[in-house]
């Protein structure tokens, strides 16, 4: 009787541990893509990135795409877009009205695509800040998204600091201080 009870308790503990490990392994066994966006970045003089020489006297947007999951993912495109507010999404659903400031701009360096596996170096894209002044009223809603070959969309986090193209601190002031 006592040995039956001990064996059954050991079986319950081992079964619970096995179930917990298999569920955690299942949850970790997927592609997890993180997208980071940073504005007002400078390059060192003579910097060559992806075979091109970039102007070090002007600010750039910096996008980094990293796979922190276990499964490889194929990145098919990256783009800047305006993320609509809750009110605008509600108007779109009820009245089928598009936001007036909606835009999507493909990042040309991303069109060739890239496979990101676990532990691979991140994909990096540079964005020119020329012409971004037209979006200065809603700078906090401008985000980067990356789309994989299966159509899943990964968004960058909203930015906190106002970039120079939206009237924030000038990028050269940030660099000298």
Q: pLDDT 10s per residue in the chain (177 long)?
A: 788 999 999 999 999 999 999 998 888 788 889 999 998 888 877 767 666 677 778 888 889 999 988 889 998 989 888 877 777 777 778 887 766 666 777 888 788 888 888 888 888 888 888 888 877 777 888 889 999 888 899 989 888 888 888 787 765 554 544
- d(CA 36, CA 143) in angstroms, rounded, equals 9
- Contact between residue 129 and residue 61 where contact means Cβ atoms under 8 Å apart: yes
- The model scores a pTM over 0.85: no
């Amino acid at each position: 009787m006592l040995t039956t009870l001990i064996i059954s308790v050991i079986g319950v503990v081992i079964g619970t541990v096995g179930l917990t490990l298999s569920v955690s392994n299942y949850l970790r066994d997927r592609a997890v893509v993180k997208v980071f966006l940073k504005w007002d970045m400078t390059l060192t003089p003579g910097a060559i990135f992806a075979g091109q020489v970039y102007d070090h006297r002007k600010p750039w947007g910096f996008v980094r795409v990293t796979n922190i999951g276990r499964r490889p993912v194929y990145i098919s495109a990256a783009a800047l877009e305006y993320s609509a507010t809750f009110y605008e999404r509600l108007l779109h659903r009820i009245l089928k009205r598009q936001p007036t400031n909606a835009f999507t701009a493909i990042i040309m360096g991303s069109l060739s695509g890239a496979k990101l596996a676990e532990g691979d170096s991140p994909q990096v894209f540079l964005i020119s800040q020329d012409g971004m002044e037209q979006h200065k009223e809603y700078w906090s809603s401008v985000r980067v998204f990356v789309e994989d070959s299966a159509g899943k969309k990964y968004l960058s986090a909203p930015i906190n600091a106002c970039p120079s193209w939206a009237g924030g601190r000038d990028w050269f002031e940030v660099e000298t201080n």
